[in-house]
Amino acid sequence: MRVRKINRFAQYLLLFGTLLLLTVSCLLAPVPAAAQAGNNAIYPGSTCCKPSPAFVDASVFSGTDFCAKVYAAISGQPAGTVIDARAVTPLTCTNTPWWNGTTSIVTPTTILLPSGTITISTTWFVPNFTKISGTGSSTVIAAASGFQQPTGLNYNSNALIEMGYDYTNASGQKCSPYGTSPCVCGTASSSGASSDCQSVQIEHMTVDGTNYSTGNGIYNNASQELSYVNDVTFNNIGGTGLIVGDVNSSRNPLGPNGGHSGPYTNLLFNAGSNTVSGTACVEVGTVTWGVHGITCNANGENAPAAAIYVNGLNSSIEDVQVDGFVDGILVGSVSGFPAGNNVIFNVNGANSHNVSGLKNVVHISNANATSDLMSDVAFMGITSSASGVHTVQDDTSTPSTVITDANLAMYMLGESTVLGSSVNWQSRLTTSLSVPSWGMGPNIPAGACSSNGRLFSNTSGSLGSTLYACVNGSWTNIK
Amino acid sequence: MRTAGSFANRWMFAGSLLVLLAWWSGAPNGAQGQQGDNAVYNASSACCQASTAFIDATAFCAMPGGCTTSDDFCSVVNQALKTLPSTGGVVDARGVNPGANNTCVNSPFTTPNSITTPSTVLLPPGPIYIHAPWVMPNQTRISGEGRKTLVIACSSTLPVTPTNPCGSSNFNFDSTDSIIEMGSASLCSTPCTGVSIEHVLVEGNNIGPALTGIYNASSGDGSYVNDVTVKWLEGNGILASGANAAASGPYTNLDIEAGGSGGKKNNNNPAGPWGTDCTLQTTLPCEQTTTACVQLDTPTRGLHGITCTADGVPEAAIYVGANTNTVEDVHVEGNIDSIRVGDNALASGNTANAAGITILDITSASGGPTSGSVQTGIHICAPGSSTCSSNAGQVTDVSVYQTQMFTTFNKPVIQDDVTSTTLEGNNASPGIAEYELGQPLAGGNTRFTVGGDSVSASTEVPTWGVAALGNSTSPSGNCQPGTILSNTTGTSPLGNPDTIWVCNPSNVWKAIK
- Of A33-47, A464-478, B15-29, B146-160, the one with minimum mean pLDDT is B15-29
- Going by C-beta distance under 8 Å and a sequence separation of 6 or more, which residues neighbour residue B101? B69, B126, B127, B129, B160, B165
Among the partner-chain residues B6, B36, B370, the one whose CB lies closest to the CB of A42 is: B36
Per the CB < 8 Å rule, is B146 touching A8? no
Per the CB < 8 Å rule, is B28 touching A451? no
Residue among A419, A437, A457, A468 with most chain B CBs within 10 A, to mutate: A419
Taking residues A2-9, what's their average pLDDT? 56
Name which of A405, A459, A454 is nearest A432 in CA terms.
A405
Residue A148 to residues A91, A144, A174, A282, Cα–Cα distance (Å): 18, 9, 20, 21
Between the ranges A31-35, A296-300, A302-306, where is the mean pLDDT highest? A302-306
A26, pLDDT greater than 50: no
Three-state DSSP state, B24? helix
Among the partner-chain residues A52, A420, A426, the one whose CB lies closest to the CB of B467 is: A426
Per the CB < 8 Å rule, is A375 touching B35? no
pLDDT (0 to 100) of residue B261: 39
Residues of B in contact with A225 (CB under 8 A): 255, 307
Per the CB < 8 Å rule, is B478 touching A45? no
In chain A the first and final C-alpha atoms are separated, in Å, by 140
pLDDT (0 to 100) of residue B278: 52
DSSP type of residue B32: -
Per the CB < 8 Å rule, is A423 touching B65? no
Say how many C-beta atoms besides its own lie within 10 A of residue B186's C-beta. Answer: 8
Residues of B in contact with A129 (CB under 8 A): 146-148
Residues of A in contact with B500 (CB under 8 A): 453, 455, 469, 471, 478
CA distance B320 to B344: 7
Say how many C-beta atoms besides its own lie within 10 A of residue B30's C-beta. Answer: 13
pLDDT (0 to 100) of residue B442: 82
CA distance B106 to B169: 12
Per the CB < 8 Å rule, is B499 touching A425? no
pLDDT (0 to 100) of residue B417: 96
Residues of A in contact with B485 (CB under 8 A): 425, 453
pLDDT (0 to 100) of residue B152: 92
Name which of A445, A448, A446, A450 is nearest A466 in CA terms.
A445
Residue B72 CB-density burial (10 A; 0-12 exposed, 13-18 middle, 19+ buried): buried
CA distance B376 to B424: 9
Residues of B in contact with A202 (CB under 8 A): none
Residues of A in contact with B202 (CB under 8 A): none
pLDDT (0 to 100) of residue A155: 87
Q: Which residue of B has its CA nearest to A478?
A: B513
CA quadruple B381, B382, B383, B385: dihedral, nearest 10: -70
Residue ranges of chain B with per-residue pLDDT less than 70: 1-31, 157-162, 209, 259-286, 368-371
Q: Which residue of A has its CA nearest to B463?
A: A427
Annotate A140-177 with b (16+ C-beta within 10 A) or e (fewer). Answer: bbbbbeebebeeeeebebbbbbbbbbbbbbeeebbbbb
In this predicted model, what pLDDT tens digit does every residue of A93-104 receive, in sequence order?
Answer: 999 999 999 988
pLDDT (0 to 100) of residue B281: 45
Residues of B in contact with A289 (CB under 8 A): 253, 304-305, 329
Whole-structure pTM value: 0.89
Among the partner-chain residues B17, B20, B39, the one whose CB lies closest to the CB of A48 is: B39
Bridge partners of residue A468, in order along the sequence: A456, A477
Residue A48, min C-alpha distance to chain B (Å): 6
A231, pLDDT greater than 90: yes
Residues of A in contact with B126 (CB under 8 A): 78-80
Say how many C-beta atoms besides its own lie within 10 A of residue B418's C-beta. Answer: 22
pLDDT (0 to 100) of residue A181: 63
Per the CB < 8 Å rule, is A452 touching B486? yes
Among the partner-chain residues B37, B124, B500, the one whose CB lies closest to the CB of A42 is: B37
Between the ranges A214-223, A298-307, B427-436, where is the mean pLDDT highest? A214-223
Per the CB < 8 Å rule, is B500 touching A423? no
A380, pLDDT greater than 90: yes
Confidence of residue A12 (pLDDT cuts 50, 70, 90): low
Per the CB < 8 Å rule, is B328 touching A15? no
CB hemisphere CA count around B32 (13 angstroms): 0
**Degrees (nearest 5) of the Cα angle A285, A290, A291?**
90
Residue B388, sorted as left (phi over 0), alpha (psi -120 to 50) or beta, turns out to be beta
pLDDT (0 to 100) of residue B270: 42
One-letter amino acid of A230: N
Among the partner-chain residues A40, A380, A415, the one whose CB lies closest to the CB of B454 is: A415
Q: Which residue of B has its CA nearest to A41?
A: B39
Confidence of residue A8 (pLDDT cuts 50, 70, 90): low
pLDDT (0 to 100) of residue B18: 52
CA distance A437 to A454: 5
Per the CB < 8 Å rule, is A375 touching B434? no
CA distance A404 to B140: 50
Per the CB < 8 Å rule, is B451 touching A415? yes
Confidence of residue A266 (pLDDT cuts 50, 70, 90): very high
CA distance A314 to B413: 14
CA distance A378 to A412: 5
Confidence of residue A15 (pLDDT cuts 50, 70, 90): low
Per the CB < 8 Å rule, is B148 touching A108? yes
Per the CB < 8 Å rule, is B370 touching A195? yes
Size of interface A-B (CB pairs under 8 A): 379
Per the CB < 8 Å rule, is A313 touching B17? no
Per the CB < 8 Å rule, is A81 touching B125? yes
Q: Which residue of A has its CA nearest to B467?
A: A425
Per the CB < 8 Å rule, is A53 touching B95? yes
Q: Do the Cβ atoms of A384 and A406 come closer than 8 Å?
A: yes
A88, pLDDT greater than 90: yes
Per the CB < 8 Å rule, is A14 touching B13? yes
pLDDT (0 to 100) of residue B289: 87
Residue among B12, B19, B120, B145 with most chain A CBs within 10 A, to mutate: B145
One-letter amino acid of A362: V
Confidence of residue A179 (pLDDT cuts 50, 70, 90): confident
Residue B442 CB-density burial (10 A; 0-12 exposed, 13-18 middle, 19+ buried): exposed
